[in-house]
Structure 1
């Protein structure tokens, strides 16, 4: 056996465990989701009835699904825009400005990311508590009792209460990532820009943001997918989809249909829609945000 063949066999041997695990825990479950979406099954019985696209027809007329879809879109748009904008803003300040205690601020911002989403749900549930919660008590201290709300009990504002928790949890992680990218930009670029009269906003717009773009583009896709996943855990632990289903999101509604209402096939149909939505959204974002790579 020549050297090239031995190298190929060695590479295959190294890759095979990862490939096998990927096929077992990713490809096969995904295939099963698509397959089971074509069946009517309660999840626990031995009877599986093939119904074709019947589950998708029901889904098409399901107002609760559309509400969960709207909530998910709202979360994706607001949480993504606010989180990434604030993360870039603070990353730029902590790198470009001369501040004391930069490492302290890095730690403080990053702490929420090391906490479990269940712990974060507990923290914000305490903050939003109507009678003894931090938020309403703070409003009372500054004589704004008229702004007291049932933050998790009002259908109109509950989704925004969840948005605040998701933003708080994610800012630090992405800020640290952007700080690393901004720190790698040569200082001479900014010095040259300052010599021609560019202010800090122009330097950020014309130097920092373009050179940060590839990192921003990558994190954007990952962040949207993670928002879809984390929103399920947050809703499950904080509101249970209430009040009256007003805080339901994609994955929570799918979970309820598959495992609570014993309509497993219908839940898998929702799972197919979630999968296709995530895939198409990621592909569109990668296409829309594509631009020439800037090097330095």
Structure 2
């Protein structure tokens, strides 16, 4: 019996070991290296490194461009997350519970953006928002609304909102499908009992649907917030490059620009440290405030 248990433990260790080694090499070591390199002044292309301690962080918190990128990142996290999650849950509830025509067609249309890569989606929106040949301005002119035309990606006041719209359009369908799969597991007799009690569709949604899929919502919410930080870099990189005048810069795009374009690798890694700490703390906060007892059926 002991020999059998020992063999089982050995099998588990050998099964997990390759994944652990890969995780350590490609995740743990690079993360430690980011923290270590943030303490140096280094261009990244030479062997000349100067240890400066926390000097990079002192400069960082006085850097107005970094503060602007931080503000933009927070804006995206709040606005994109709230709108995407609400649209995804409501759309999933409607397509799962309501008897509407062309239900499968709408499912496909919502999920379509996830077939395309983020780079392709960013390029599509860049073309749509082009001030001279873009569909948006051309349509506004056709409707005699020329006063509403703008340099969409060149206007400091609206550029970040263009990125917000593109990110929401890209993400809604994916999370809608996840919520629909979760809603399909809810027993039909719960809704039948609610109908007999005279509960409205809205009340059924808040009293039955949302509580029973809350664990899925909680998990996807944390995942979405972290992925928003990562995806925002791609949208900004392709659509605006951080312009105009840094008004659409986000965490990762500013870090990339400092580390690889301005030859300030050490300074860029200090931004990476802040992003890591911010993401970790934010995940803990979201996990804490969304925690509730799991309702079983």
Per-residue CA deviation, residues 6-61 of structure 1 (Å, 9 max, x unaligned), is 11111111111000000000000000000001111100100111111000000011
Residue 180 of structure 1: how far off its partner (Å): 0.7
Cα offsets for 1:135-158 (capped at 9, x unmatched): 112222333221111110000000
Q: Tell me the equivalent position of 1:185.
A: 186
Root-mean-square deviation (Å): 1.0
CA shift digits 1:207-253 (9 cap, x unpaired): 11111111110000100111110110111111110000100000000
Q: What is aligned with 1:115? A: 116
Match of 2:140 in 1: 139
Give the structure 2 partner of residue 33 of structure 1: 34
Q: How far off its partner does 1:2 sit? A: 1.4
Q: Give the aligned partner of residue 235 of structure 2.
A: 234
2:130 aligned counterpart, secondary structure: coil
Give the Cα–Cα distance (whole angstroms) in 1 for the partners of residues 142 and 222 of structure 2.
Answer: 41
> What TM-score do the two structures reach when normalised by structure 2?
0.98
Q: After superposition, give the CA deviation of every residue in 1:46-97 in whole Å (9 maximum; x if it has no partner).
A: 0111111000000011110000000000001000000110111111110110
Q: What secondary structure, in the 3-state scheme, does the structure 2 residue paired with 1:68 have?
A: helix
* CA–CA distance in structure 1, aligned partners of residues 94 and 138 of structure 2: 32
Aligned residue in 1 for 2:281: 280
- Distance, in Å, in 2 between the alignment partners of 1:290 and 1:31 is 30
Secondary structure in 2 aligned to 1:2?
Answer: helix
Question: What whole-Å deviation, never above 9, does each CA across 1:89-108 have from its counterpart, x for those lacking one?
Answer: 11111011012322222111
Structure 1: gaps spanning 5 or more residues? none
Q: Provide the C-alpha distance between the structure 2 equivalents of 1:75 and 1:138, rounded to a whole number of angstroms.
A: 27
Q: Secondary structure at the match of 2:213?
A: helix
Is 2:261 aligned against 1:244?
Answer: no
Match of 1:271 in 2: 272
**Alignment partner, residue 256 of structure 1:** 257
Secondary structure of the structure 1 residue equivalent to 2:191? helix
Number of residue pairs the alignment of both structures matches: 296
Look up the match of 2:158. Answer: 157
Gaps spanning 5+ residues in structure 2: where?
A: none
The CA deviation at 1:181 is: 0.9
